[in-house]
Amino acid sequence: MRTEEVSVLRAHDLKCVKGSTELFSNIHFQIESGEALVVEGSNGSGKTSLLRILCGFNYPAEGEISWCGKTIDGHEDYQQQISYIGHASGVKLDLTVLENLVFAQRLVGSDRDETEIKDIIRSVGLFKQRNVLTRKLSAGQKRRVALARLQLEERKLWVLDEPLTALDKEFVTDFENVLKKHLEDDGMLVVTTHRELLLPDSLTKKINLSA
């Protein structure tokens, strides 16, 4: 569900504590429509924890996150604008590739017809596998199904935790083009990755949780 107005995601003075360990503190950032935030840091620095806090799955020990000037706590519009892909691809293993996307479409209330859905499947290189049960796919192919879902859902904010995991180099280039198109369409992106991700410098901000 895309909105036409400029959206702003802002984090102020975020702190995250796991058990007795402080992962990060004093984290500030702001991104607007058409911008990306790349979250960097060593293993254990709290990258995944930050993404889960942004999605509302966890709460920060201190600080606040706002969407268009309003705290995200109980902000239904904000939740309707997020697509999240974590370390697990989140696909339904007992459904085919095509059935996964049809199911996802019903969840978000999209009205794309089957031809459009097949075009999305083709864009991630899985058209020949469209009727194959997802459990029979490789890890990289399952990841492609999840990334196809991003295009189907048409949410404003994509929050992606290591989206390039298990992807071959050729498809990484294709996926970078998908991300660039998302930003050109005034979408927003928050992403962690250990692999280099080529995004327009003018549209990309970075924070390092190890700093």
H helices present in the chain, as ranges: 47-54, 76-79, 97-108, 114-123, 139-153, 169-184
How many domains are there within the chain? 2
Q: Are both 75 and 164 inside the same structural domain?
A: yes
Q: Are both 74 and 134 inside the same structural domain?
A: no
| pLDDT of 47 over the 90 cut | yes
pLDDT bracket for residue 151 (50, 70, 90): confident
Q: Are both 45 and 71 inside the same structural domain?
A: yes
So what's the pLDDT on residue 105? 87
Q: Are both 185 and 163 inside the same structural domain?
A: yes
Percent of the chain with pLDDT strictly greater than 70:
98
Last residue of a domain, one of 137, 154, 171: 154
Please compute the mean of the pLDDT values over residues 34-50 and round it to a whole number. Answer: 95
CA distance 46 to 33: 25
pLDDT tens sequence across 131-143: 999 999 999 999 9
So what's the pLDDT on residue 83? 93
pLDDT bracket for residue 114 (50, 70, 90): confident
Q: Are both 137 and 49 inside the same structural domain?
A: no
So what's the pLDDT on residue 64? 96
Residue 110 φ then ψ, to 5°: -75, 155
pLDDT bracket for residue 38 (50, 70, 90): very high
CA distance 67 to 113: 32
Residue whose C-alpha is closest to residue 112's, from 210, 62, 104, 206: 104
CA distance 203 to 167: 24
Its pTM stands at 0.90
Percent of the chain with pLDDT strictly greater than 90:
69
Residue range(s) defining the domain that contains residue 31: 7-81+155-211
So what's the pLDDT on residue 167? 86
CATH of residue 36's domain is 3.40.50.300
| pLDDT of 3 over the 70 cut | no
- Whether residue 1 lies inside any domain: the answer is no
pLDDT bracket for residue 174 (50, 70, 90): confident
| pLDDT of 24 over the 90 cut | yes
